[in-house]
Structure 1
């Protein structure tokens, strides 16, 4: 049996690594095409471009790892069935469970590796990539002088009939200077030389054999002409150097680990509970004011027990792993929203009351304003929505990781049911399962973020559907197991269309 397990694992190992590399490469090329404009047009160092591409790979691997598992299982087991090796195993007393066991163990191992990768590596690379993209966004595009076109540089507009990019020389130059608030200046020159200063930021224009036309809006009838043999103009801040910002920006939900998001869930729920308690206190205070019932004591408030840290000992490993992976990565810090505090006022008897009525006007009680009640309600709703979004991301991490195990079940069931499916089964069946799984995952995430579905149900529903389909398929395969005759791609299409066909009524 050990030899059989090794043989089955070797049959799926090659397709797994090939499909993982192919899918990752295709999606990486897609990401490169999307970011080509912002990377190439700003004269960035080659190392920065390579770093952006490398930091984009973990996000792609998180998506392609379950896909590679399904493709490898479909190809490996269908190939074994097409070569009649599955039939030979059955003839020697090997059950479907024994054939499935090596792939299930490998799927469990890949699920654990995927969770560690998604929970520890992916958030840190996403945070670093986000900071790097912000720095790239602040970098100005590289300046290029176009000939026979107006080039805008701040308050200067430059027009040159000929531009020699290699040497920076220009001929027949016209510069329209709008820097003077009370007039305009036009500079004409037969030739010019364009260079940057030693910092590479300021543009220096050296003009030769020209004249300057000056006029003021207050004196339109007068025009001042100045001739020159050599004139130098410095245009500041034409380009800026690329600088890495070391500021620790606030992280989003996709840039946090599971433990950090659990802390945010607890904090958001506490804010929601405090806001709900404050709203109830305001309602009770208004009722007492309307019924002329004095307040008997201090308004009860929910104590804030401070910051809560989850995961316990796992945090030690998490911090050590973070320092080893990305030393400059910082822990997520989100601004804590202060709950709305209702002011307490002490009356002459020493008791604290909330919004007490004006004793000079007992006939008209003072009630809580609509705005204050609305703020507390919105604070409660926003806090609960934030908690749900963090819970969605937590469950999604687990769901994507468990998909490595779920795809093993349904992949083996499809491959054993249609052993002669070949590449049609791998491509068609794989795309069908991918589409159903990821459409349910994305749709469930959208519904859970809006509060229409539970985060746990929305994120785990795709896995439940795949596991049920795989389990039912394996049970049927175990009952109907026979030779490899049939079971090709035509049989797969026939099985998919069978529920949609009407049975003829017997006359």
Structure 2
């Protein structure tokens, strides 16, 4: 292989283009394999069970499957980057092309540049799919499935709406509504606290959000003194209260984190923070950080795959696939453990989500440094 002055081109040299071309085919093969495996495990068995137990039609099942594919493609891209880099560099090394490069003074650090380019491109693609494409299509898939089996997804919580509000570590308000029809809450009770003591009890047959305030209808406001005795009762037919909109936001949000963009997840986590539900808040914060950090594993996988390919020239397609599976399995085991730690409060959500990706990248850098020394 000839290596003319194109090596010194600062952006995309002949060497870069050549190695990137070698990565395309194994990347496509790996993407297809890993996405198919994730889809089979994640949705095919579930769809088959619904076809048997709930009479899900074949057309609806196929529609749900394709709507869910972007979600599994998000998982398949990092795996395919690892497999593509590992196999491409192994083949180049086995054909002594990398030896020719190093004999011309090209270092391993320079050789892995195309793999890093591929990793960054995969990062952008993964982020775009995970943020813009997968969440709405996944939500549409679950709506299609539930409608097909006669269990439509509700657009709001129909009963038992519960909200707590804290300020400076003290409970300020408890809001409970027995029913909700999407617009009006029924049988509402609000407890207002001051300095940790109950000072007001509001009960109403109905409550409706109007612009910036709540309209409570057919109820009464009970005021309590510091001794917790009733000092006044104020019946009303209709009355306005400047309570927060948060109970309505909680009632109208029925989606899981996987059906939301990171911005929507952040907004909902802010609502949970106001409600004082720390357990659910930690879960949502961990899921948010997972969504943001997942694309970055593409760079670490590309680096590890390239260095392993340079160091292990005898990797065939089968052995490369097996090694990729082993690395991916190890990564996800560690990731699941740290996710559990994060949701349990043992570590912060940022550490739980970002540390495994950082470790993968650090391992790749360490391997590259070792290869560069030899």
- State the TM-score, normalizing by the size of structure 1: 0.50
Q: Report the equivalent of 1:14.
A: 25
Query: Is the counterpart of residue 404 in structure 1 residue 275 in structure 2?
Result: no
2:339 to 445, 451, 455: 445
Q: Report the equivalent of 2:146.
A: 134
The 2-side partners of 1:126 and 1:339 are apart by 36
CA RMSD of aligned residues (A): 3.3
The 2-side partners of 1:100 and 1:472 are apart by 13
CA shift digits 1:439-460 (9 cap, x unpaired): 1111222221122221111111
**What are the within-5 Å matches in structure 2 for residues 47-58 of structure 1?**
47-58=59-70
Query: Is the counterpart of residue 432 in structure 1 residue 314 in structure 2?
Result: no
Distance 1:124 1:339, change over 3 A: farther
Distance 1:403 1:338, change over 3 A: farther
The 1-side partners of 2:347 and 2:296 are apart by 21
Distance 1:91 1:340, change over 3 A: farther
Q: Report the equivalent of 1:472.
A: 366
Distance 1:7 1:44, change over 3 A: same
Distance 1:65 1:358, change over 3 A: closer
CA shift digits 1:4-56 (9 cap, x unpaired): 11110011111001111122223334432332131256555543222111122
2:307 to 387, 393, 413: 413
> Is the Cα contact below 8 Å between 1:272 and 1:383 reproduced in 2?
no
> Is the Cα contact below 8 Å between 1:24 and 1:64 reproduced in 2?
yes
SS at match of 1:35: helix
Q: Which moved more, 1:407-416 or 1:33-42?
A: 33-42
The 2-side partners of 1:381 and 1:443 are apart by 27
> Is the Cα contact below 8 Å between 1:275 and 1:340 reproduced in 2?
no
The 1-side partners of 2:311 and 2:225 are apart by 72
Unaligned runs of 5+ in 1: 140-244, 251-267, 279-300, 303-332, 346-351, 360-378, 481-507
> Is the Cα contact below 8 Å between 1:108 and 1:404 reproduced in 2?
yes
> Is the Cα contact below 8 Å between 2:60 and 2:148 reproduced in 1?
no
**What are the within-5 Å matches in structure 2 for residues 290-305 of structure 1?**
none
CA shift digits 1:147-187 (9 cap, x unpaired): xxxxxxxxxxxxxxxxxxxxxxxxxxxxxxxxxxxxxxxxx
- State the TM-score, normalizing by the size of structure 2: 0.66
1:405 CA displacement: 0.7
CA shift digits 1:460-497 (9 cap, x unpaired): 121121111111100010111xxxxxxxxxxxxxxxxx
Distance 1:382 1:130, change over 3 A: farther
Unaligned runs of 5+ in 2: 1-6, 8-12, 158-162, 174-182, 201-222, 231-272
CA shift digits 1:245-296 (9 cap, x unpaired): 585357xxxxxxxxxxxxxxxxx9xx66438323xxxxxxxxxxxxxxxxxx
The 1-side partners of 2:368 and 2:106 are apart by 15
Q: Report the equivalent of 2:259.
A: none
Distance 1:247 1:34, change over 3 A: closer
> Is the Cα contact below 8 Å between 2:94 and 2:313 reproduced in 1?
yes
Count, aligned residues: 279
Higher strand share: 2
1:71 CA displacement: 0.4
The 1-side partners of 2:66 and 2:116 are apart by 31
The 2-side partners of 1:68 and 1:124 are apart by 24
2:46 to 29, 34, 39: 34
1:248 to 155, 158, 164: 155
The 2-side partners of 1:400 and 1:71 are apart by 17
